[in-house]
Structure 1
């Protein structure tokens, strides 16, 4: 009789091996059969500057460090890239000629931190992580964020525009008109989302914001649920483009919640873009791009207009992909 029970259990296990759900039969646990494991680990970043950022993040993962370490160290590459005019202190300034930075970081367990309207801090993403890990708060802004950086031993940089930013700013002052230009170094935030080999997720988002914005303006990047949202139980999403339009729809949170309801990442990104378009009054001059990953390692991206691309790093290689768009 005992032998017959073992035979039946083995037969049951074989018949259920390809059922895509965790199954229990008389105490016998059948693990989910997943080809999707090949997608892990995975790093995704917005725009072509995400390639170098992903290289660093991938290196961190290969050193057996956490996915949170990877997404922080990855975007620090972009924050320090002197050729980039949309991220870091070398970015384009506001109307007063002052560079102010926004950043956020989040892990899949719900821990998160952010800084907004911060000056003279070379790596706002690292300051955001300190807010997450060393304070009871989620978001610090302005002078408070700067003072926190000083208190944590972060050196402040001289408040001088980079040569490229200075040249662009002086040219802009001749007319002093603010007109967004889609897909140009104006609001090309870097957002990074990733998953390690165990399925743990994290994300980061950092930017110098809209060029020639009003002094004090804050975009979507430091707002958890707008520019970035991560939940290990569901997935992660990040946004780039005109932050005001992302904030209006809580874009990244919306995408994660759509995935929670069973939508695949691509479909969730497309729905978020449709939602943004429905609220936007000047769609011709507005670009938004969304990037998402679910807990199974599936991913998607979508934008309002053509031109948005994203960097992908995985075990089989790395590449830059042009996202699909509504128009």
Structure 2
């Protein structure tokens, strides 16, 4: 009887392989052998390849995806030359550097901080919101008090270079989400951004799958340069700037946050993958929704982009206009790409 039962089990698996393929057997049986999974990490923007490298050191040592992402994002948060994330980030119109971040793990747990000042690594505070509180989001002074209570030191995030840029901006005080500012010209050149398509806002969004086949993701940003005090974009909002579903895949976003929030962009990408689209196709579908809502002419004045990874470790990206790049690290090595764009 035991041998007959084993035979029937093997026959069932064989039939499943014919009908739905090896990848979907895992979903049907609950099996997820590590030998079938290759760890992968993907992040927004080519310069974040150095953040991917820090994450890869953990992934390649059979570490958890969430741990890898947290350490990877630390690299960008602490980099004073990146003027859109953390230390060195451009301030709001009042001269204050406020940071936003969120995390989401393979179990659907999530945490976020918004309008947080004086903390070097907001992604780690977001993780503690997830792990140590009954809440998903903490903002402003409350987020700062929580961070300090957990042992984070208060630091000055405003560098002399960022302060100089802010004081130059004050001369005209022109608030334009797509304005090009002098100090970002070098970064735009590195990212191969064409004239007229530069932007002064960004984020690091990072996604990873580990050797156990589990997904996690995180975002971190200091938001739009010279924004209104208190402004929050998509980056720390679950479903907009980040979404993870361990049965399907994960997505994260960058660009004009208000537009990404309005279409719940990252959630759209994951749902499109659930419906059978590849990561690249799914990202394109979310971009199409932004265009549909705004119309082509208005959309040409914006930028938004998504990166995604599915349960099989396949990655993809798509942007609204040209100039968006992304970075990937796999067992075969690291590479950067410029994403396809719609307009």
- TM-score relative to the length of structure 1: 0.89
- Partners of 2:62 and 2:211 within 8 A in 1: no
d(CA) in 1 for partners of 2:268, 2:94: 34
Alignment match, 1:26? none
Deviates more, 1:288-297 or 1:133-142: 288-297
User: Could you tell me how far 1:173 is from its partner in structure 2?
Assistant: 1.0
> Mean Cα displacement is larger for which, 162-171 or 135-144?
162-171
Paired residue for 2:121? Answer: 123
CA distances 1:119-156 after superposition (whole Å, capped 9, x unpaired) = 00100000000000000000000000001011111100
Closer, same or farther: CA 158–11 of 1 in aligned 2, 3 Å: closer
Q: After superposition, what is the alpha-carbon deviation per residue over 1:294-317, rounded to whole angstroms, capped at 9, x for unaligned?
A: 111222110000100100100001
The corresponding residue for 2:222 is 208
Aligned to 1:294: 310
Determine helix, strand or coil for the equivalent of 1:225: coil
Tell me which residue corresponds to 1:244: 258
For the residue of structure 2 that corresponds to 1:149, the secondary structure is helix
Q: Higher mean Cα deviation, 175-184 or 126-135?
A: 175-184
Q: Which residue of 1 aligns with 2:92?
A: 94
* Contact 1:86/1:185 (<8 A) preserved: no
For the Cα contact (< 8 Å) 2:250–2:308, is it kept in 1? Answer: yes
Q: Which residue of 2 is the match for residue 194 of structure 1?
A: 208
> In 1, Cα distance between the equivalents of 2:117 and 2:102?
15
Inter-CA distance 210–30: structure 2 relative to 1 (3 Å threshold): closer
Count of matched residue pairs? 319
Cα distance, 1:183–1:310 mapped onto 2, change above 3 Å: farther
State the 4+ residue runs in structure 1 displaced beyond 2 angstroms.
Answer: 2-23, 29-32, 62-65, 181-185
Q: Deviations over 1:192-224 (max 9, x none)?
A: 011012210000100000001000000000100
Match of 2:148 in 1: 150
Shift of 1:285: 2.1
C-alpha distance 16-312 of structure 1, shift in aligned 2 (>3 A): same
Task: List aligned pairs for 1:26-65, cutoff 5 A.
Answer: 37=36, 40-65=38-63
State whether residues 89 and 101 of structure 1, in contact with CA within 8 Å, keep that contact through their aligned partners in structure 2. Answer: no
Alpha-carbon distance, 1:284 to partner: 2.5
Work out the CA distance in 2 between the residues paired with 1:6 and 1:207.
Answer: 53
Match of 2:82 among 78, 81, 84: 84
CA distance in 2, matches of 1:312, 1:86: 20
- Following superposition, the deviation at residue 50 of structure 1 comes to 1.7
What is the match of residue 328 of structure 2? Answer: 312
Distance 1:8 1:254, change over 3 A: closer
When the two chains are superposed, the root-mean-square deviation of aligned CA atoms in Å is 2.9
User: Are the equivalent residues in 2 in contact too, given 1:47–1:308 (CA < 8 A)?
Assistant: yes
CA distance, structure 1, for counterparts of residue 8 and residue 123 of structure 2: 55
Within a 5 Å distance, the mapping from 1:228-243 to structure 2 comes to 228-243=242-257
Deviation (angstroms), 1:49: 2.4
- Structure in which a larger fraction of residues adopt helix: 2
Say which of 148, 163, 168 aligns to 2:165.
168
- C-alpha distance in 1 between matches for 2:174 and 2:6: 78
- Which residue is 1:283 aligned to? 299
SS at match of 2:46: coil
Q: TM-score with structure 2 length normalisation? A: 0.85
Does 2:280 align with 1:266? yes
Corresponding residue of 1:226: 240
Bigger Cα Rg: 1
